[in-house]
Amino acid sequence: MVSGQVKSGASALVRLPKAELHLHLEGCLYPMQVVQLAARHGEKLRYGEVAARYNTQSFPAFLELFKWATSYLRDPQDYALLCEHPGLHLVAENCVYAEITLSVGVMLLRKQNVEANFAAIRDAMDRYAKPSGLRVRWIFDAVRQFGPEKAMEVARLAAQMKSAGVVAFGLGGDEESLPASDFRKVFDYAAAEGLHRVAHAGEMGGPQAVRDAIEILGAERIGHGIAAIHDEGLMNLLIERQIPLEICPTSNLRTGALAKLLARNFPSDARATHSSAGRSFSLPAAARLEDHPLAKFIARGVPVTLASDDPAMFRTTLLAEYTLALARMGLTLPQLISISEAPFRYAFLPAPERNSLLDTFRSKTSSLSQVIS
């Protein structure tokens, strides 16, 4: 794609109505907010030191950053601050529907009042969402390495707070820590309570982790799932059951997940330099967004959505992911318009509400398609 097409495509992407299905609220904690929160709790941090920690290049480093930065989220007021950036970015980028994940497992670990945190978060998000018409629903996420008992506590809270907009139970954290079978009862409970189910799988783990999330846990969507590119049978399963992969390309680059995926194909310890936001990083294997399997999944017919994951920590936004897909991952603008419909189709909403969002999306994009054709 030549740069002129990218430029005109980029302006069409801004106008494209979007939905975001894989966004961690805690991943919206920006370095300056960490400084503010630390000050509120009596600790002086320098912005430069905090920003330097945000330069993660591996999954363990990312988990460490997540743990450290979120350790300053201590009361409902702190959590309310988190809504500022998603509230502003989502609205500015023409996102009309979002399912936002809360790491309730971490709140419980820190012995916080989940109900009070969640009430403050909803109030804060309403201030941004209501005037713009942005609809937000919530996913309560358990941390895999904390074990099934802790995960069950998260699922119970999710069930209790369904009337406040919680639509799903999710499993995140380190997918290689404990087997999916440990969490079967928790997912069965969530299903019986009428919650939807999602799981991070096939991000750092292999294709079997994705298969287990589907067949053992009954996951209806998969967070990342890029490892499926190595398994034809698994891709067929995703197509047959219409289970989408929530693809977050920049995240895959910054956690080393893409490098790991590529290393499976091309074992090599050759180092490559990646440039992002004016800085250069050395990654453990050749990993460039150009090598991301997104276009291959689309060509194969595997359902996918595009998402930003932890935008503050990966220095991205939902619009940036669409723009990168156009400029560097080999997608055409009509393909992007087509996959931007996917998160509306796979939203965890009752059918009438989902269909109404889809109708609005289609009428807005049909005029957009005429403009670009």
Asked whether position 141 contacts Zn ion by CB under 5 A, the answer is: no
Residues that contact Zn ion, how many (by CB under 5 A) = 2
Closest distance between Zn ion and the C-beta of residue 346, in Å? Answer: 16
Closest distance between Zn ion and the C-beta of residue 51, in Å? Answer: 22
Nearer to Zn ion among residue 76 and residue 105 (C-beta):
105
Active site (annotated) includes residue 203: yes
**Residue tagged active-site, from 93, 99, 175, 203:** 203
CA–CA separation, 337 and 13 (whole Å) = 8
CA–CA separation, 102 and 219 (whole Å) = 18
Closest distance between Zn ion and the C-beta of residue 174, in Å? Answer: 12
Q: What mask of x and - would describe binding to Zn ion in positions 207 to 236, judged by CB under 5 A?
A: ----------------x-------------
Closest distance between Zn ion and the C-beta of residue 368, in Å? Answer: 29
Q: How far is CA 242 from CA 8, 77, 303, in A?
A: 32, 39, 6
CA–CA separation, 114 and 75 (whole Å) = 10
Sole window of 51-59, 104-112, 234-242, 301-309 interacting with Zn ion (rule: CB under 5 A): 301-309
E strand or H helix at 150, and its extent?
Answer: helix 148-160
Chain residue whose CB lies nearest Zn ion: 309
Burial 226-244 (b: 16+ CB within 10 A, else e): bbbbebeebbebbeeeebb
Nearer to Zn ion among residue 200 and residue 274 (C-beta):
200
**Binding positions for Zn ion, 305-324, rule CB under 5 A:** 309
E strand or H helix at 184, and its extent?
Answer: helix 184-192
For strand 279-283 and strand 272-276, is the pairing parallel, antiparallel, or unpaired? antiparallel
Which parts of this chain interact with Zn ion (CB under 5 A)? 223, 309
Q: Which residues are catalytic?
A: 203
